[in-house]
Structure 1
Amino acid sequence: MHNRNVLISGASVAGLTLAYWLQRAGFRPTVVERAPGLRKGGQAIDIRGCALQVMDRMNLLDKVRSVTTGMRGMSVVDGDGVELSRSTEETFTGGVIDNDDVELMRDDLTTLLFDVSRYGTEFLFDDVITAIAQDDDGVEVRFRHERPRRFGLVIGADGLHSGVRRLVFGPESSHLRFLGSYLAIFSVDNFLALDHWQTFHMTPQELVGVYSTRDNTEARAILLFHSPELDIDHRDPVRHRALVADRFAGVGWETPRLLERMGSAPDFYFDSMSQVRLDHWSKGRVTLVGDAGYCPSPRSGQGTSLALAGAYVLAGELGNRPHDHRGAFARYELLTRDYVHRNQRLAQNRSGDSRPSPVELARAANSLTLPAYPCRG
């Protein structure tokens, strides 16, 4: 491949990790991101198994550990706020006190990834790909704002509703598998004075939760509900807020206060619990990584780890085969597809408010042996 310029769609965990490793492999990455900057907010995410090795090989593991949530445990309360049960972190991990898993806020991780990838990467914020046309020698890309440009490869790291996937692989209805529930997440003040703690209230069809963040200076709210699939635009936050407010009207505990704060939350997020499933992740000079290619859904607890490991392997294989993108893409899929399937299965046949056991998570998280790619650059 003569053109070492690679366009990555999405300043996501997958996109930023990929940009870092592509630099190391001798490529020139450009990241286009719809948002005007790094996206703020999001939920607490976990890094497990082989993904911890990726962090270590990026010399970020100590920094990641320095910003962990430090969550001590959780409580379940009834509609009047009376505690029904509580669990400690040791209970969560099945008593395994030497568990190496790391939990941190999503935007803390993307900030760390941006800091290590920014100086060798071109960033096009507040822009989006509108058309992709590829031939034997490269890919012609059109943007909403930037002039048309040509790249050697295009990689979609743009999430569940990937625009690259839609442009190259067809409508998302062919690739998304709805798992029966919807999730809203947004920041709130820590009005419950939670101390590294999570509190949840559950009904047969809804879950409401609050957990403290940033050393208890903030909190995140979670509202999840079971539902048949809804016909809604994933980019319509006004409709999303109205839908959540209507669905949770009358639910007890602190739900009314959370709904009131939801209206002014600057980082409100709402989407379906869905997975992305494709027979192949590549077409010609275009491929997918992370949620864009194989989102396991938040229910699996493994989306971040899949993104980190997938980006590392993809960049490594391209570095090993700089003039053979087809061979690199094929090898990337061969190495990671079983790992992806194992982690996607964690979320299948499972209710929306339950999670895999520590043993299930550990087996899936460690089911990929990372190759040791040579350092290049």
Structure 2
Amino acid sequence: MTKKVWRADRLSRLGSSIFAEVANWKHEAVQAGLAVIDLSIGSPDKPPSERVRQVLADAALRPDAYRYPGTKGTRAYLGKAAEWMNHRFGVKLDPDTELVSLMGSQDGLGHLALALCNPGDVALIPNPGYPVYAAGLAVAGIDPYLMPLRPEHGYLPDFEAIPHEVWQRAKFMLLNYPSNPVSAVADLAFFTKAVETAKQHGVLIVHDLAYSEMAFDGCRPPSILEVPGAIDYAVEFHSMSKSFNLAGGRIGFFAGNRDVVSALGELKANIDYGVFLPVQEAAIAALSDDMAGVHQPVSHIYEKRRDLFIEALAAEGWIVPKPSATMFVWAQLPKMEWGLSEDWTSRRISREMLRMQGVAVIPGDAFGSEGEGFVRIALVEDESKLLEAASRIGKFIRGEQ
């Protein structure tokens, strides 16, 4: 008998994981003797506050902490999340019906289409956009409609350019501001227009607000749920990973329209048992400290790193606009002084930068076709490492060994 193929066809729709691919490049560079500076994955290099870590440690020592936690999340955690949403955005939510816990926002983003869509539906997603947006659709067998995000339009989608027949088939539209990878921000006027468009076409808006606390120059990103009546047409993902340095804890929450929250909660009730109870208690402490004004905002750290790194790159001859938010720099490829042929894509340049100088970044095409010609650089090392990275990048631009 011929051996059967033990691999689902749907995996071919996912494409290769760029993060796994870059990890292989990093391994090769280390094997070649390079001291790699990793500016690829957006994993915070700082820990949570000492109090949050102590709460986590104390909770983990309790004998009763190891029960199944429940998929929805504890009433204490969801209640605190609702309290924080009101404190931060002036948005009032019912923790029993309008919130559900997540193992990080990626958990919800990866499963949402499975909970909401049927064969033949379409979902509108940004291009460039975070890879899980497309991956979640691929797993669910849902067709994406890619909304181009371009610098000349402030990296905002043009709703009027979307064909009528696409709106007719669309189940939801995904927005992400502050944005990964392009680091753009959107104001409440944009979200008001988005909600009006959603009402016109009967489409749900899914807003990924993972970087709400990582904006610079006095910017305070809004929640789409601040728009009057938005809860009838919108839901929002929030993450504790970046705002509170709890990336490894895997915790976030999903908020908004109760029917949509219920649908995702129902799906998750069949596939997982929720977030470890001590991690929920740590998240409660983090949110409480933020509301009490004793949490040190992470935005200050990344704003300082941004300014330092952008200035250092400029000194090396690579002029890059300052991002308004997030931990990322979205940089158009520099002009190489040693001359490159036109077939040098963002992926090839990213690999050669790592091979020649030991600096790891993510090629822009990993986030969609509109990302070609760019790279994403994560500000996840201390200032001395960022200065060293800028120096090495300068050598790469000049073709020095």
What TM-score comes out, normalization by structure 1 length? 0.23
The answer to which structure has the higher strand fraction is 1
The structure having more radius of gyration, on CA atoms, is 2
What TM-score comes out, normalization by structure 2 length? 0.22
The answer to which structure has the higher helix fraction is 2
